[in-house]
Structure 1
Amino acid sequence: MPRSRSGAFGRRRPRTGTEPVTAQSAVRLRRLLAALFLPLFAAAAVLFAVLAAEAEPGDALDRGDLVVLAVMCGVFALLAAVNLWVLGRRLRRERGDGPT
């Protein structure tokens, strides 16, 4: 499928800007960053969860703060995983390997 029709239902609205017809997003960079940060955020979520479980009342960061950090890192890891899935699906569809 050509990139001009790579949306879920093709081009959603007519082109009105001055960008080139062949303009493309930085898909490779998005994949690289998502692949790099997915394991980092997942590891940070686990680390903060373990620290929250071992937190005591007199620590610099209390249990609630560590839980919030663990949840935020988990959400970022989930977003990176979804981004990788969407990019992989889009690239397979454009190559003609997957469902249209």
Structure 2
Amino acid sequence: MRDEGTGQDGKPVSRARSGTIGRRFPRTGTEPVTARSPLRLRLLLAAVFLPLLVAGCALFAVGATDAGPGDSPGRGPLILLSAVCGVLALTALLDLLVILRRLRRERGTAR
């Protein structure tokens, strides 16, 4: 079976045509044929925000453990902020992995 990121001759297909074969969902006709995701910008944003979100998660978690009964903000909001940062960090990590896989497929170094 042929990889959908490669053409008939096994060479990588450009992003402009990477979804024409093996499309998961049929085109509705409202999106442009040559629409492309700005992978380099997504890579930059994910790489910048992943460490910031991990640091935020850790700082809010430490703040929640040090919060006393009369402190403002209380323990609950800090735990919530820590959880939100953790979920966003996980999302950024998954996006980073998807972007790297797509860039690797475009370069033709995928398995």
Q: CA deviation at 1:90?
A: 1.1
State whether structure 2 residue 100 is matched by structure 1 residue 88.
yes
The separation in 2 between residues aligned to 1:25 and 1:69, in whole angstroms, is: 30
The alignment of Structure 1 onto Structure 2 pairs a total of residues equal to 97
The separation in 1 between residues aligned to 2:96 and 2:57, in whole angstroms, is: 19
State whether structure 2 residue 71 is matched by structure 1 residue 66.
no
Aligned residues with identical type, % of pairs: 51
User: Normalization by structure 1: what TM-score?
Assistant: 0.85
User: Normalization by structure 2: what TM-score?
Assistant: 0.77
Once superposed, which parts of structure 1, at least 4 consecutive aligned residues long, lie more than 6 Å away?
Answer: none
Q: 1:78 aligns with which of 82, 90, 98?
A: 90
**Cα-Cα RMSD:** 2.0
What is the match of residue 59 of structure 2? 47
Partner letter of residue 10 of structure 1?
Answer: G
What is the match of residue 23 of structure 1? 35
Q: Which runs of 5+ in 1 are unaligned?
A: none
Name the SS for the 2:61 alignment partner.
helix
| Equivalent residues of 1:52, 1:62 under 8 A apart | yes
Q: 2:45 aligns with which of 33, 50, 53?
A: 33
Larger radius of gyration: 2
